[in-house]
Structure formats: C-alpha cells, structure tokens
C-alpha cells in the first residue's frame, strides 16, 4: 500500500485551478483592511474576521513596533521555560477581568487553545457534548481527549436535552462545548437555555467566543455578557486573530482550573510562546475596546445594512444574527463560479464547501468590519445582485 496514493488521487484542487475557479490561497499584497490589493488591483474585502478593523489602527501598530524594539522579535522558547514575558502575564490578568473570570492563559494560536484545553481537562470516560456545527478545533480537541464525544443538532436545545438525559446516570465528568457565534452560519448559541440544561444535568459549560469577543456584549465582552449570564459559564475561550488583530488565543476560568491547564496541557507546554509584537497588539486592541464604543456601534450598523440588503434581494442568509452573513448557494461548483464573478467585479469573499458545511449546502461566507464605508457596502450589494441574477440564485 502506497502511503501517498491518496495524495495522487486528490485532483479536486487541480481541476478547479484548470477551470479558473479555484478560490483559495490568493496572495494579498497589502494590509488587512476593508480594501486589499490582489493581483495588483484593489478589492473590497468581505472575507475577513477583522470585525473592529483594528489591524491598521495607529495605536495598535505603534504598540507592536515598540514591543519589538524592547523585547525583540521572538521569545525562543515555551512559556513553561524561558518564554514568559511580563506582558504575557499582564495580558492574562486583563483578559480575565475583561471576560469576568478569575484567571486566564494565553496560547500561541486559537486552534491550539481549544486543542490543548479540551484534551487536558477531559479525562478517561468523561463525556463531551458538542454542537454539530462547532469549529474544527473543538472537534479535534475532542478527538484528542480520552473521553467520549456526543453530538447534538445545531443549536437545538431539545436535542441537547435528549442527549444529556440519556447519560444523566453516568457518574463521570461532563461538559458542553459550544461556539458562541458559529463561524459559518453566523448565528448565536441559545446560551441561556443551554446553561439551564447544563445546571439541570450537572454539566460544565465551555464557550468558544472566537467570533464573539469584540462583537457581542458590553464593549465586546462576548456571548455570556451579551445574555447577562457571565457567572454561569465555566470556561471561556477566545482568539486574537479576529477582533484583536493579532495571532493567538486564550482560555479563561477559575484559577484552579487554569493552573491545572497551565501545568498539564502539552499543546501549551511544548509550544513556543506568543511573540512580543503579537502580545502588545492584543493589549492595544483591548485598550481600544474598553474605551471606545463607536467602532462596535458602527460594526452593527454595517451588519444590519448588509443583512437587510441581502434578504430584500431574496438571498438565503440562513440564520445569521451577526457580522458573519452567509449566502447559501448549494452545489460546490456553483459556489466557485459565484465566487469567481464576485472576484472579477472587485469583491473578495470566502467560499465554504463540504466538509466545512454539509454536502449540497455550499455558501459564500461574507463578514463585515466597522471600517467598511457606505460606498463600499453599496457596491457589494450591487455586485451581489448582479451575480445572483446571472447565476440564478435570486
């Protein structure tokens, strides 16, 4: 058996490239703003998770430069040994306070945060209850854990209770792991009912707030704050590659839990720590988020405008409630052709096909920033209407 046989049999990407409809790995020749340069021409970017538009904020860039001047470009080791800087600890203290938890721990990527936390806290025979639309990092974290994963229908609390009820007599550790905002659908978890069920069945609650921090709640404090139930959540996870304009992630919870993760998570202990510029960037973004509400208000103004615009044209935006607004297309090839026409008209969006979404439910994933202008958004709607008519989606 040739180990690389499956590699040679993978022809899907090559076929899309030859057809001129391959939408991935497009090199961007500029910063991550509401406009980018690709192939030497300006494009309106609606495929970014830069919700607050902070990647080019002068104070954020200045903080990153100053950190390099003071600390250099990297830490050359893991947090466990030589890679902990004073600003790592400052960031952890401030993040814990921001999300209303006792303590927090920063990882080098968001994916690693879920992977390293879930695989560490879930022991043999423990049970993990996960939404079928949870992010891949949650899926892989559960695969690495020694416990058993039980899935329930997307954001369906009746189905969650069915699964919890079926295992109520198991004398093991239990945890529900869910996204706060689902990254493809753009909807918000029914957290109040989920928390009620978790309490009823003596189950811990873990919320992945990757797409919620900076978007939901007071000053963007996340899903639990949005619903006013911050004291009902056991663990909150967040990433820095979205509203925080950097790279990395964090987990926040009770001090004793964070200390355990800190001393047992292989993904944390054996990975190099976040570089100083990335840490300083997050700290600067956090300061802006804590002091400024105008960006958050503008983000939601832009979100409402685009959701209403797409819906009025007849696009299926699924159940979106956030700046993530998916446009359901259907078949993969149709989705690629839709993307190509958008691209040719100066719009950069993302395509999501199986396994990122269910088969035959391919979509164009759009997402919006506080820094998008009215003219940019009007052009996006105009182009979508034109392409939607051309392809027969509307």
Question: Looking at the predicted structure, is the pLDDT value of residue 355 above 90?
Answer: no
Known catalytic residue at 211: yes
**pLDDT tens digits, one per residue of 216-253:** 999 999 999 999 999 999 999 999 999 999 999 999 99
> What is the distance between the alpha carbons of residues 14 and 19, in angstroms, rounded to a whole number?
9
pLDDT of residue 358: 87
pLDDT of residue 85: 98
**pLDDT tens digits, one per residue of 201-218:** 999 999 999 999 999 999
The active-site residue out of 211, 226, 307, 340 is 211
**pLDDT tens digits, one per residue of 47-101:** 999 999 999 999 999 999 999 999 999 999 999 999 999 999 999 999 999 999 9
Known catalytic residue at 382: no
Q: Band of the pLDDT at 354, cuts 50, 70, 90?
A: confident
Known catalytic residue at 183: yes
Percent of the chain with pLDDT over 70: 100
| Fold matches, 12-45+293-391 and 58-291 | no
Q: Band of the pLDDT at 133, cuts 50, 70, 90?
A: very high
CATH number for domain 58-291, candidates 3.40.350.10, 3.40.640.10, 3.40.50.800, 3.40.228.10: 3.40.640.10
Q: Which class for 216: exposed (0-12), middle (13-18), buried (19 or more C-beta within 10 A)?
A: buried
Quickly list H helices, 84-170. Answer: 86-99, 110-121, 136-144, 157-166
pLDDT of residue 271: 96
Which residue ranges make up each domain of the chain? 12-45+293-391, 58-291
Residue 36, strand partner residues: 43
The active-site residue out of 57, 135, 204, 242 is 242
pLDDT of residue 357: 87
Region 171-184 average pLDDT:
97
Closest CA to 201 of 235, 231, 236, 157: 157
pLDDT of residue 260: 98
pLDDT of residue 150: 98
The active-site residue out of 133, 137, 183, 271 is 183
Residue 303 and residue 380 in contact, taking contact as beta carbons nearer than 8 Å: no
pLDDT of residue 45: 98
CATH class of 12-45+293-391: alpha beta
pTM value is: 0.96
């Amino acid at each position: 058996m040739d180990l690389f046989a499956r590699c040679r049999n993978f022809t899907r990407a090559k076929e899309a490239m030859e057809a001129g409809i391959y939408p991935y790995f497009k090199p961007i020749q500029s910063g991550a703003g509401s406009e980018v340069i690709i192939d030497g021409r300006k494009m309106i970017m609606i495929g970014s998770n830069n919700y607050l538009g902070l990647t080019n904020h002068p104070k954020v860039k200045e903080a990153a430069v100053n950190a390099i001047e003071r600390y250099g470009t990297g830490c050359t080791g893991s947090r466990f040994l030589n890679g902990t800087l004073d600003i790592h600890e400052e960031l952890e203290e401030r993040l814990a306070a921001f999300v209303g938890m006792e303590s927090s721990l920063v990882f080098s990527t968001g994916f690693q945060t879920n992977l390293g936390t879930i695989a560490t806290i879930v022991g043999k025979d423990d049970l993990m209850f996960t939404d079928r639309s949870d992010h891949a990092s949650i899926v892989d974290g559960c695969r690495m854990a020694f416990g058993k994963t039980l899935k329930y229908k997307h954001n369906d609390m009746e189905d969650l209770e069915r699964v919890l009820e079926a295992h109520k007599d198991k004398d093991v550790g239990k945890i529900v792991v869910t996204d706060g905002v689902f990254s493809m659908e753009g909807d918000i978890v029914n957290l109040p009912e989920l928390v009620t069920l978790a309490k009823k069945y003596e189950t811990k609650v873990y919320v992945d707030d990757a797409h919620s921090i900076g978007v939901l709640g007071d000053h963007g404090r996340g899903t639990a704050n949005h619903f006013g139930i911050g004291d009902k959540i056991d663990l909150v996870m967040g990433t820095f590659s979205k509203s925080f304009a950097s790279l990395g992630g964090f987990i926040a919870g009770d001090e004793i839990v964070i200390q355990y993760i800190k001393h047992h998570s292989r993904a944390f202990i054996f990975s190099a720590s976040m570089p100083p510029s990335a840490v300083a960037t997050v700290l600067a973004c956090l300061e802006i988020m804590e002091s400024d509400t105008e960006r958050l208000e503008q983000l939601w103004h832009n979100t409402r405008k685009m959701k209403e615009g797409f819906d009025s044209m007849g696009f299926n935006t699924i159940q979106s409630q956030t700046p993530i607004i998916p446009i359901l297309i259907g078949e993969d090839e149709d989705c690629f052709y839709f993307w190509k026409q958008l691209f040719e008209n100066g719009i950069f969006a993302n395509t999501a096909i199986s396994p990122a979404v269910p088969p035959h439910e391919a979509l164009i994933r759009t997402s919006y920033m506080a820094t998008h202008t009215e003219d940019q958004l009007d052009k996006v709607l105009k182009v979508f209407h034109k392409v939607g008519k051309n392809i027969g989606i509307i």
